[in-house]
Amino acid sequence: MPLGEADIAAFYRDAYAPSADAERYGRWRALSAIAKAEHIVQLATAIGMSSPGAVADVGCGDGGVLSELGRRGFGERRVGFEIAAAAVEMAAGRSEIAEAAVFDGDHVPAADGAYDLAYASHVLEHVRSPGLLLREMMRVARAVVIEVPLERNLSARRPAARAASEAAGHIQRFDRAAVRGLVTDAGWQVREEILDPLALAIHLFDRRSLGARAKGAGKWAVRRAATAVPPVGTRIFTLHYAVIATPDRGA
């Protein structure tokens, strides 16, 4: 069942609580952070923002992406906001992060224009009002990066895929047009975009046997080929989509 309003805070609190799977989840988050950081750097560089000053991660989790950005020397000051206090504590302990704070999931506790860049990587699919949160990010930053999985496709309709999505806390289903619509509805424009089938390492994560690894490699190869024809690929498979947006000067 999709998360109800009252369940959201508890879901993310539990996600960072000590458990038998904590080590595995930690490895997964660290691996995922590499691709997420790469997308942020690539998009920002494409619009001439290769060396931003203040950078905010809205929905920072345990701070893995901010930490990866720090290792790449991206951003002079890196700040994270997250609804789960346990995750904030983990993020605050990372040397690459200047500050991490709890927020309510809707309103970013920062002044207008406080950041050069704000991003939300795999966050908007988890929130009740993605447009509201995006506008908050636009309020506090002069450029915004968002990344989501595109789950309006044939593969994602399968019962097993829907169950996995709900188990991950996804309550929104996006396609490329919906993401771009969120940006333009707020009066901003998409400047650059990335469509990603994910790296081979992601598809091979925790696949131990030769058969399982072969299946993961095949899955990666098919999605990689499909990405070359976006109208086809996004209708069939779940691909990851990232954009960078700035105010629409022509509006």
Whether 214 is in a domain gets the answer no
CATH of the domain at 71: 3.40.50.150
* Banded model confidence at residue 155, pLDDT cuts 50, 70, 90: confident
pLDDT tens for each residue of 206-218:
888 999 899 888 8
Alpha-carbon gap, residue 107 to 91, rounded angstroms: 19
| pTM given for the model | 0.88
Inside any domain, residue 133:
yes
Determine, yes or no, domain membership for 174.
yes
Residue range of the domain that includes 149? 5-153+168-197+238-247
Report the C-alpha dihedral over residues 136, 140, 144, 146, rounded to 10 degrees: -40
Q: Are 56 and 110 in contact (CB under 8 A)?
A: yes
Q: Quick one: pLDDT at residue 20?
A: 58
Residue 62 counted as domain residue: yes
Pull the structure tokens for residue 30. 């660290």
Give yes or no for a contact between 74 and 40, defined as CB atoms under 8 angstroms apart: yes
In a domain, 15, yes or no: yes
- Terminal CA-CA length for the chain: 41
Residue 123 lies in a domain: yes
Averaged pLDDT for residues 26-40: 90
List, in order, residues 6 or more apart from 104 with CB less than 8 Å away: 83
Classify residue 79: in a domain, yes or no.
yes
Number of independent structural domains in the chain = 1
> Does the structure show a pLDDT above 80 at 13?
no
Determine contact, residues 198/226, Cβ cutoff 8 Å: no
Q: Which residue has the tokens 């950041």?
A: 115
